[in-house]
Amino acid sequence: MSLVALESTVFAHGLPRPLNLEVAFELERIVGEHGAEPHTIGIVDGRIVVGLSESGLRRLATEQSISKVSQRDIPVVVARKGMGATTVAATAWLAHRHGIEVVCTGGLGGVHRGDHFDVSNDLYVLASTPVTVVCSGAKAILDLRATREFLESLGVTVVGFGTSEFPAFYSSESGLPVDVRCDKITEVADVIKARQRVGLAKATLVVVPVPPEFEIPRSEIEPLVETAYEEAAARNIRASDLTPFLLSWISARSEGRSLTANRALLANNAAVAADLAVALER
């Protein structure tokens, strides 16, 4: 059976309630409809679960004090028997350990604006873990140029599915190139199989643009991002609280358009990830 690992932080921390649970179930349904088996990854009462049950999904989506778990946090949450939603980094690492090649998410973490020493662990895990991550580029709140350059420096192959540009999450255009464009799922699968054959111990990053009918042009979203950062600074919001605040603030100021785009790209990415997982099994 073709397997797809799904990140849990994307709904536990990235979407408002109760929409988050609805989206979590929707993504699993889409993966199943495209012929693959969904395995949403999380930590429940200190137990790593690769393939959350319905009750596990509900708990991560509704309970308070759900930890945002990157790779370094896994042993802490496990030792304390806590509840944790896994980031791209933790999801990719755990997926690889459990033999799952394809990981699906919305936006990748990356280099933060104004502080190029603040780099998401997502990028380092991609540089050392041979999996395939399907996403819509990096989150628009990040420094996309620096993130793209960092991926290049780390030696991570970036495949544009139906695009020649590294997507800017809410927008399809960034002005930044991918390493190779593929217009067919079978072409993407060929690149991944070649990486597996040559033994390259790095991820393949497959970037998929947001569906055009839900796209927000960068000329519209960029001013909102800049103002959101100014507001976060004024409130002294930082570290792990920063990203949820920025996304929530942008959603409110865009009258929900950013949230609608986020949901649409997540659904599209789930379909692409499932199609890819099926293609890799052929």
Enzyme catalytic residues: 7, 139
Query: What CA–CA distances, in Å, run from 60 to 18, 30, 54, 75, 271?
Result: 12, 20, 10, 18, 23
In the block, tokens 């890819």 appear at 276
Distance (Å, rounded) from C-alpha 258 to C-alpha 192?
A: 31
Cβ neighbours of residue 123 under 8 Å, at least 6 residues apart? 108, 109, 110, 111, 147, 150, 151, 154, 156
3-class SS of residue 17: coil
Q: Taking the alpha carbons of 237, 222, 250, 64 in that order, is the dihedral positive or negative?
A: negative
If we measure between CA atoms, which residue out of 139, 109, 140 comes closest to residue 222? 140
If we measure between CA atoms, which residue out of 184, 170, 181, 175 comes closest to residue 148? 175
Q: What is the DSSP string of 26-94?
A: HHHHHHHHTT-EEEEEEEETTEEEES--HHHHHHHHHSS--EEE-GGGHHHHHHTT--EEE-HHHHHHH
Tell how many helices (H) and how many strands (E) occur in the chain: 11, 12
